[in-house]
A and B are shown apart, each in its own frame.
Chain A
Amino acid sequence: RKEVEQDPGPFNVPEGATVAFNCTYSNSASQSFFWYRQDCRKEPKLLMSVYSSGNEDGRFTAQLNRASQYISLLIRDSKLSDSATYLCVVRYNTDKLIFGTGTRLQVFP
């Protein structure tokens, strides 16, 4: 079983739609959780950290359920520029990041 699992997609949605991605992780000792965005042939960029209480950054909302070892990302009012691969990332101990394979999002006009 992979340490971080995501639905690879692709999710094809029209502009303005709301889309949600899910992620599960296997290591209950995971300490920190993140969503990264990766454009084709580019490095990953931090989108947002995920906190137990849930957190929002503009059109993006992240949720964490430690009991179920489940993380989600909700994107509202999708823009064409949101098209990318979204990587679910967990960290345990101070340094090691474990990446999911990513969920590909394609927003169409």
Chain B
Amino acid sequence: GAVVSQHPSWVICKSGTSVKIECRSLDFQATTMFWYRQFPKQSLMLMATSNEGSKATYEQGVEKDKFLINHASLTLSTLTVTSAHPEDSSFYICSARGIRDLSYEQYFGPGTRLTVT
């Protein structure tokens, strides 16, 4: 099946710093990638949808200037959490949809656990 990787798998950073998370589709080209966030005991919440070569579409309540998304190629999207605060500590998961995937199935990465101290 399709494989999506994320890097890093976990990160601890100090408040005020920025953290970049990478999402890669390893064996397929992804026209669309999605970024989700999951707080403990809560559901995955879609943060933004990114299409290769265009600006990301953010969900209501998600600050685009704080969560910078870049989808520069068909296999890579990055999420940068700028000026991180402890309340940004969460499990960030990306997913990707293939360029020829008519089923619209999303393939999920293994997630990145962010802890801001």
Contact = CB atoms under 8 A, between A and B. Distances in A.
Interface of A: 4, 8, 32, 41-46, 87, 91, 94-102
A43 B109 contact: yes
Nearest to A8: B41
Nearest to B97: A95
30 contacts: A4-B43, A41-B113, A42-B110, A42-B111, A43-B93, A43-B109, A43-B110, A43-B111, A44-B44, A44-B108, A87-B44, A91-B104, A94-B104, A95-B32, A95-B34, A95-B49, A95-B97, A95-B104, A96-B49, A97-B34, A97-B44, A97-B106, A99-B43, A99-B44, A99-B45, A100-B43, A101-B41, A101-B42, A101-B43, A102-B43
Given A8-B41, A97-B34, 20 more contacts: A4-B43, A42-B110, A43-B93, A43-B110, A44-B93, A44-B108, A46-B105, A91-B104, A94-B104, A95-B32, A95-B34, A95-B49, A95-B104, A96-B46, A97-B44, A98-B46, A99-B44, A99-B45, A100-B43, A101-B41
A8 B113 CA distance: 22
Contacts of B104: 32, 91, 94-95
A42 B111 CA distance: 7
Given A43-B93, A46-B105, A97 B46 contact: yes
Interface of B: 32, 34, 41-46, 49, 91, 93, 97, 104-106, 108-111, 113
Nearest to A6: B43
B3 to A, nearest CB: 12
Contacts of B43: 4, 87, 99-102
Contacts of B32: 95
Contacts of B106: 97
A94 B46 CA distance: 14
B94 to A, nearest CB: 9
Contacts of B97: 95
Nearest to B108: A43
A42 B6 CA distance: 12
A91 B97 CA distance: 14
